[in-house]
Amino acid sequence: MSLAESESAKPHVAVLASPGMGHIIPLFEFSKRLAADHGFYVSFLNIASEASAAQTQLLRSPNLPPSLHVIDLPPADVISDVLLEDCPVLTRVCLILQENLRSLKSVLLSLRKPNALVADLFCTDTLDVCHELSIPVYFFYTASSALFAFSLYLPTLDREVDGEFVELPEPVHVPGCSPIRIEDLIDQVRNRKIDEYKWFLYHCSRLHMAKGIFLNTWEDLEPVSLKAIRENRFFHEIPTPPVHPVGPLIKETEPLTETGSECLAWLEKQPKNSVVYIALGSGGTLTAQQITEVAWGLELSKQRFIWVIRAPSGATSSGAFFKAGGEVNNVSDPDPASFLPEGFVERTKEVGPVVPSWAPQIAVLRHEATGAFWSHCGWNSTLESVAHGVPMIAWPLYSEQRMNATILAEDVGVAVKVAEEGGRGTVTREEIARVVRVVIQGEEGKALRRRAEEFKESAAKALNSHCGSSFESLSCVAKEWKALS
């Protein structure tokens, strides 16, 4: 049998992710697992409109499983006409999807009919096309199971509450789950009059229409919310599709740039658990004032660090969402010395490198010298940190990150939260110095590190091909899909 015949004999699944690395990374890792571990031919449908350099580099990676094929959807002709310059991230994502999914039916018809299509939350319009083609749709929820439970509850909350959720006198009580403080509500539901809320509610209201839901988590990490989704009467009555925890699905390797190699060489010379790694995700940005406070705080702490830094942005904390990975195409931020306090880079060059835009995060987190991860608490970075046994300093910036920070600090026990002036204000240099010393030097930091190590072992066990809970969860669905063949 030829290679082409062998590939065509395999069961076929199509996978579709929204724009943004936080969505693309886990669905691409999911695709690789299906192809490499479960014997599937996988068509990864790529929305190339507005694609960042990091997205392009990831999807063109060498050494992909031979059964995984990246297929670019035809670019939408009118995308620039529907996007405004100041369009918020979620609205922009949904408009890009709305325009690009017009070609989905023709693309699916051009492929060998998939046994299923797996798409993320903001791709619920695939339901209509796939219903017409008799292709079952599964959703891959790229955030926590706690946020997934809230998403299922949101249409009920929308019907039952008058006025703004941020004006409620007490936390939001999702049935069977830990209460969500009003200040931790995700950005997209803090103003019910804006388009972002309407888009989020629209997609959440269609989740129950899927054949099943994949969650990028595992049983030990979020037992309370997983139990609620499976057992609480509210979720049965929606009804909620079967849920399949398959995480943590995270990147295993990354290409090394010259700067990345220098970072790792510097780490090799540092003591165990002595370095704070500071990185705010593929989209996070800070104001000039906040960058100055971070710099002085790191100096005051007298601790080692690696600081992945972007040029300041005064507009939004998600300013790099569609620009991730500019350094891949040799388009990087300005020299950090041009916007950091005068002399900072020179004074701290032995204590910690300042790295423009990007560092090899997986390799840094895996290194024994890394003692803490100062993170924005995006779900991908959260899983990467926990899966490598690294405790976190939680500094949420946007979207659901405040909710994640609270879960990590209070429920999971692997993080300490920074205190902001006025609740959502500046983090001062004194606070920065305090939390860095607490996690690297203090007894609390040692306790967080022990807890993180426990979850590192738990994560590895969940993914183990011999009875790991996440591996078995995906295997069960894979068997169902193969039966359809």
Query: Which residues does the annotation mark as catalytic?
Result: 23, 120
Torsion of CA 28, 221, 138, 195, to 10 degrees: -90
- CA–CA distance, 119 with 459 (Å, rounded to integer): 24
- CA–CA distance, 163 with 153 (Å, rounded to integer): 17
Tokens of 441: 């030097």
Q: Which amino acid is residue 356, in one-letter code?
A: P
Torsion of CA 474, 480, 484, 485, to 10 degrees: 50
Residues 6 or more apart whose CB falls under 8 angstroms from that of 153 comprise 174, 175, 234
Report the phi/psi class of residue 82: left, alpha or beta, with left for phi > 0 and alpha for psi in -120 to 50: alpha
CA 349 from chain center: how many Å?
31
- CA–CA distance, 456 with 445 (Å, rounded to integer): 16
Report residue 118: phi and psi, to 5°.
-110, 125
Residues 6 or more apart whose CB falls under 8 angstroms from that of 397 comprise 280, 281, 284, 317, 318, 376
CB 92 within 8 A of CB 71: no
Residue 420 half-sphere exposure toward CB, CA atoms < 13 A? 12
Tokens of 55: 């997205």
- CA–CA distance, 198 with 154 (Å, rounded to integer): 11
Q: Which amino acid is residue 339, in one-letter code?
A: F
- CA–CA distance, 415 with 395 (Å, rounded to integer): 10
CA 119 from chain center: how many Å?
15
| Cα angle value 242/229/248 (rounded, 5°) | 75
- CA–CA distance, 371 with 440 (Å, rounded to integer): 6
Tokens of 238: 């929606």
Tokens of 91: 């609205």
Tokens of 274: 């002595």
